[in-house]
Structure 1
């Protein structure tokens, strides 16, 4: 019997940011993200970043090229041991990087984490998020191993490692991005830009985190999968408006 057609994770999403759009919007959005990463430090100094859910630094990673070419300094958080091994190898020639194998959660302690063997980029605390991809695989449940992991709050881990004052915060944790973002200490410091995946968030969670970030002063530009949040006081308002118009035009055409 043929497997039902997989509509893509965006086709199953209930996120308020997941608007129907032509395929070219994804490429336009990616170009805008790449541009912002190139200009995030107008003084030309190396960018300081925090990346949660770094996986191996290669597959679909929006910052890898900039980290390597720009000599960026950063904290990379990845709880899957096999992915962490590949991540360290990927950045083996880079200086100024700190690698941590804990997982970020709202409380510090231990919590069950679901690792997808052979496709560990899908690993998550959220089993329903993993199962959104079930139609792509013959036996996705059989690929999942549940293991306890050490959990840390991001504010605590940033203080411990000296990365409280990051220019950029990147989060891609398969359905738990809002939880991770809320553990960053925005009262102490607000990164110039935030990039996170919204596609696996519920309508309620995606709307709430959007409102939370907007109240902090961020302008949000998005495609069907990700949100790029730019701090109004750090970017020229006309530039932010222009970038938003470009994505909206791509979405409408």
Structure 2
């Protein structure tokens, strides 16, 4: 019954809007924050870097759809970006950018799980091979493959594949789409979050809120990221199990 109810909600826009506007109560601290932010702000503009398919395990999806956020979903993986475009084919408010954000424009190698494109696998893709290997060593990859019913390659060295992806800078993105102000920047890039935050052109614009995944950052990088954002005028307002929220001081 719950699955059928969820199917109906996600199938019809008016049901989706009604449920998430009037019935749904946020349970996570991240959703409490985002729900309050979205309700008070009109003409909301966002940039989500590492958007994956834009729906599964995406904390922004309900607000993009419910409150008609405008913005950009950035996803470098070609096959995953194809899914992202399909998921947002009827949304005229959102731009899909098939690229990665980096310090320099060009091409770069992305490391990913070789034998599955499921959401759990594609979500592990990273510029940092050691981040993918870490999830293999922890047993997470083997466990998820078993749940999916996928055969593992006999040689563990073959569990990681590479994909050449297009990279642009944050400023390239800003110029391409004539972005003057952003309410929210969110990063979910498996250990590369601080590097991307350092490329935000704060001299050109200061997003009101920056949300980044800290769970793959080393302790030193976490602290350096916090200090960097504070030096740019932000306060850390929430730290949960996976994410950190920084908000521009008034």
Structure-2-length-normalised TM-score:
0.76
Contact 1:155 1:164 in 2 (8 A): no
Aligned-residue RMSD, C-alpha = 1.9
2:66 to 69, 72, 92: 69
* In 2: Cα distance, 1:162 partner to 1:174 partner: 28
* Gap regions ≥5 residues in structure 2: 1-25, 143-151
Give the number of aligned pairs: 205
Post-superposition shift, 1:60?
Answer: 1.6
* In 2: Cα distance, 1:42 partner to 1:225 partner: 24
Post-superposition shift, 1:157?
Answer: 1.2
2:240 to 210, 220, 223: 223
* In 2: Cα distance, 1:126 partner to 1:110 partner: 15
Matches within 5 A, 1:234-249: none
Identify the residue that residue 189 of structure 1 maps to in structure 2: 205
Identify the residue that residue 207 of structure 1 maps to in structure 2: 223
Contact 2:54 2:73 in 1 (8 A): no
* In 2: Cα distance, 1:93 partner to 1:172 partner: 24
Question: Structure 1 pair 39/142, CA: closer, same or farther in 2 (3 Å)?
Answer: same
Contact 1:40 1:167 in 2 (8 A): no
**For 1:35-56, what per-residue CA distance to the aligned partner results, in whole angstroms no more than 9, with x for missing partners?**
3323336764231000000000
1:122 to 121, 124, 128: 124
* In 2: Cα distance, 1:123 partner to 1:226 partner: 18
* In 2: Cα distance, 1:81 partner to 1:169 partner: 22
* In 2: Cα distance, 1:164 partner to 1:214 partner: 22
Identify the residue that residue 166 of structure 2 maps to in structure 1: 150
Contact 2:235 2:246 in 1 (8 A): yes
Structure-1-length-normalised TM-score:
0.75
Contact 1:113 1:149 in 2 (8 A): yes
Identify the residue that residue 137 of structure 1 maps to in structure 2: 141
Identify the residue that residue 79 of structure 1 maps to in structure 2: 76
Post-superposition shift, 1:225?
Answer: 1.3
| Correspondence 1:180 to 2:184 | no
Contact 1:178 1:205 in 2 (8 A): yes
Question: Structure 1 pair 141/175, CA: closer, same or farther in 2 (3 Å)?
Answer: farther
Segments of 4+ moved more than 6 angstroms: none
- The answer to which of 100-109 and 173-182 deviates more is 100-109
| Correspondence 1:103 to 2:119 | no
* In 2: Cα distance, 1:60 partner to 1:104 partner: 21
1:74 match: secondary structure: strand
Question: Structure 1 pair 30/171, CA: closer, same or farther in 2 (3 Å)?
Answer: farther
Q: Which protein, 1 or 2, shows the higher relative CO under an 8 Å CA cutoff with sep ≥ 6?
A: 1
